[in-house]
Amino acid sequence: MTDRVVLAYSGGLDTSVAIGWIAEQTGAEVVAVTVDVGQGGEDLAVVRQRALDCGAVAAEVVDAREEFAAGFCMPALRANARYMDRYPVVSALSRPLIVRHLVDAALRHDATHVAHGCTGKGNDQVRFEVGIGALAPWLRVIAPVRDSGWTRDKAVAYAQERGLPVGVTHRSPYSIDQNLWGRAVETGFLEDIWNAPIAELYSYTQDPGLPRDPDTVVITFDQGVPVALDGETVTPLQAIRELNRRAGEHGVGRLDLVEDRLVGIKSREVYEAPGAIALITAHQELENVTVERDVARFKRSVDQRWAELVYDGLWFSPLRQALDAFVDETQRHVSGEVRLVLHGGKAVVTGRRSEASLYDFGLATYDSGDTFDQSLARGFVELWGLPSRLAADRDRRLG
C-alpha cells in the first residue's frame, strides 16, 4: 500500500509546492488538511481546490472556529495568558488545535507521516512536532522548508516549472499569521527594530488617533467566560468577533514587541489582538473583585507559566493540564459584569459588579457607614512587622 502523508496546508506557496515535492521525494500520497481558526482572507473552498490541483489525493477543510473559541481562547482568557506580560499567544494558541486535526486526519487516512511548512528559526516547528509526538508518537514528521534548504526563489521556480496554480508574482514583504484571537506580522523592514510600524501593517485595528466617539460595552461573565455583551447573549465565538470589531475600530490591541523565541533568538513582532486584549482587561478586573487575595497572588504566577507553556509548544503537557485544574477552581466565582470604554487605543474599565464580589462597601468607605474596626489595626501592625523588627535589631547588635 502506498504511504500517505497528511500536510498542514495553508494554501500559500510553500505548502502548495510541498505537495508535489513530498510525492516526488517519498513516493507517498499527500492529503492536505486546512483548519479554519478564523484566519479570514481567501475562500477556503478555493484553498481546498488548489490543494487538489497541486496534486493532493484528498483535501479537507475543517471549520474549527467554534472549537477554537471555546476550547482554546476561553482557557487562555481564564488564565489571562500574555507571554512576556504582553503577547496574548495568538499563533501559539491555534497550533495544538491544528495538530489535533492533523492527527485525526492521519488516523482516518492511515497516514504514516505528518508534514508542515515551518522554518527552522521559528517556534511553530516545535509546537507542531511536540504536539504530534504527544498525541501520536508513531507518526513521523516531514519538514521540507526546514530540512531541505528551501528558499522562496526555489519554491517559485518549482511552481513555475510544474505549472502549479499558485500566484507567485506578488511577494508580501511581511510574514503574517492570523486567527480569531489576533494577528501577527513579522519580517521585512520590521527586522530593523528601530523602524516604526506603518499603517499598512494593520488589518484588525484602525488608527487609534482618528477622532471618534468612545464606545462603551458591558461584558457579562459566567465563571470566567463571556456570556453576554450589553445584555445580549453571545457564544465565545460571537463575543470575540464582536469585540474584535468594536475594539478594533478604536485601535485597541496593537502591540510592538521584541520577544524571546523558544529557539533562543529574539524577534520583533507586531501584533493586533483587539478582542483578546479587551476581554483579558475586563476579566482581570472581575477577578480583582471576586478572587481572594492569596489565591489571586498565586494565580498571577500560574497565568505567566500557563502562557509560557503554550508559547513553548507544551499545550499537551501534564503541567499545562494540571495548571488548568487550578485555574478552573479559581474561576468558580468569577461571574458578573464589567463596563469597558473603548477609545484611543485603550480598553479602560469604568465599572464592575458581581453577586460574588468580595468588595464590602462598609469596610471600604471612609464616610458614615464605616464598619471597619480601626482599633484592631494597632495590634495588627505590631505583629505584622515583628519579624522584620527582630531581624533589624539583630543586625544592629552584630554591627
Which of these is catalytic: 4, 50, 82, 95? 95
195 annotated as a binding-site residue: no
Which of these is catalytic: 53, 86, 140, 175? 175
Active site residue 124: yes
124 annotated as a binding-site residue: yes
Which of these is catalytic: 65, 78, 124, 320? 124
Grid cell 475594539 is found at 247
Alpha helices by DSSP H, 167-218 = none
Phi and psi (nearest 5°) for 142?
A: -115, 130
167 annotated as a binding-site residue: no
243 annotated as a binding-site residue: no
50 annotated as a binding-site residue: no
Rounded Cα distance, 255 and 273, in Å: 8
Active site residue 393: no
151 annotated as a binding-site residue: no
Which of these is catalytic: 4, 14, 82, 100? 14
Please give the torsion angle defined by the CA atoms of residues 249, 179, 89 and 339, in that order, rounded to the nearest 10 degrees: 40
Active site residue 396: no
Active site residue 95: yes
Letter string b/e over residues 24-55, b meaning 16 or more CB atoms within 10 A of that residue's CB: eebebbbbbbbbbbbbeeeebeebbebbeebb
- Give bridge partners of residue 182 from the DSSP assignment: 179
| Grid cell at residue 196 | 516604526
175 annotated as a binding-site residue: yes
127 annotated as a binding-site residue: yes
55 annotated as a binding-site residue: no
Rounded Cα distance, 182 and 163, in Å: 34
87 annotated as a binding-site residue: yes
Rounded Cα distance, 83 and 267, in Å: 14
Find the radius of gyration of the CA atoms of the chain: 25
Beta strands 215-222 and 336-343, pairing class: antiparallel
Query: Annotated binding site for ATP, which residues?
Result: 8-16, 117
Query: Annotated binding site for L-citrulline, which residues?
Result: 87, 123, 127, 175, 259, 271
Task: Point out the residues that are catalytic.
Answer: 14, 95, 124, 175
Query: Annotated binding site, which residues?
Result: 8-16, 87, 117, 119, 123-124, 127, 175, 259, 271
Query: Annotated binding site for L-aspartate, which residues?
Result: 119, 123-124
